[in-house]
Structure 1
Amino acid sequence: MRFMIIVKATADTEAGVMPGEPLLTAMAQYHEQLATAGVLVDGSGLQASSKGWRIRYAGDRRSFVDGPFAETRELTAGYTIIQVKSREEAISWSMRYPNPAGEGRETEIEVRQFFELEDFACGEAIDRFREIGESQRAISGML
């Protein structure tokens, strides 16, 4: 089971304010624990929305919308992806996540479970996704 721990953006993250040494240390220690336990898949911070964009869909049309975006509470500042055996294990790891706003400050993280191919009914499209995954694993093994 894979889960994404989502860190919400703040006015500071959108302004490009980098985290201080205490938070970076706490995050490094947490991610080292995840890696040692064999559950870390990926984790990273994201640049401010001013360096991003959105693609809007309206029927068959697509339009490009350049950042920044005003509603910081709807933005993501970073993430950690874990692969664990149960929802309970994911809850346990997420409860240990360092406060991304800094100790003593109010904030929240969001945790969402990924869909796995096994969650979908069998079909040609799902078979294609399996083949893509197998190809990607083979390529990664060569690197």
Structure 2
Amino acid sequence: MRVMVLVKATKDSEAGLMPSTELFEAMGRFNEELIKAGIMQAGDGLKPSSEGKRVAFDGSSRTVIDGPFPATNELVAGYWLWEVKDMAEAVEWVKRCPNPMPGPSEIEIRPLYEMADFAELLTQTA
């Protein structure tokens, strides 16, 4: 099963605070473990939302919204894409992860839809 592992933003990440050398090295070692285990498919950190844009859709209308965006605790500061056998394995790997932020932080794990999830819909259109 594929999962998206989302590192939630904090005030520090939204301020553009870079990780300490120790944290940077610890995360590098963790990423190497993920790669050696054949789990990590992709992963990156994201710049603060002040450097981002949102596009709001309403029918055929499109509105561009400049960052920064409110609700820091709902924003994403980084991600991994993992291939794991089940959600329990993903949770175990996240529990081994160094704290990705200088203070309190949160990581969210979300399963991705796979083509098999759309099997009923695909048979209806065939």
TM-score with structure 2 length normalisation?
Answer: 0.90
Q: 1:15 corresponds to which residue?
A: 15
What CA distance in whole angstroms lies between the structure 1 residues aligned with 2:70 and 2:87? 33
Identity of aligned residues (%): 44
Q: 2:85 corresponds to which residue?
A: 85
Q: 2:31 corresponds to which residue?
A: 31
Is the 2:4–2:80 Cα contact (8 Å) retained in structure 1? yes
Amino acid paired to 1:31: N
Q: 2:122 corresponds to which residue?
A: 123
Q: What do the CA deviations read for 1:71-101 (whole angstroms, capped 9, x no partner)?
A: 2111100011110112221121111121112
Paired residue total = 124
**Root mean square deviation, CA, Å:** 1.8
Amino acid paired to 2:95: M
TM-score with structure 1 length normalisation?
Answer: 0.80
- Which stretch of structure 1 is more off in the superposition, 71-80 or 93-102? 93-102
For 1:123, what is the secondary structure of its paired residue?
A: helix
What CA distance in whole angstroms lies between the structure 2 residues aligned with 1:24 and 1:4? 21
- Which stretch of structure 1 is more off in the superposition, 27-36 or 56-65? 56-65
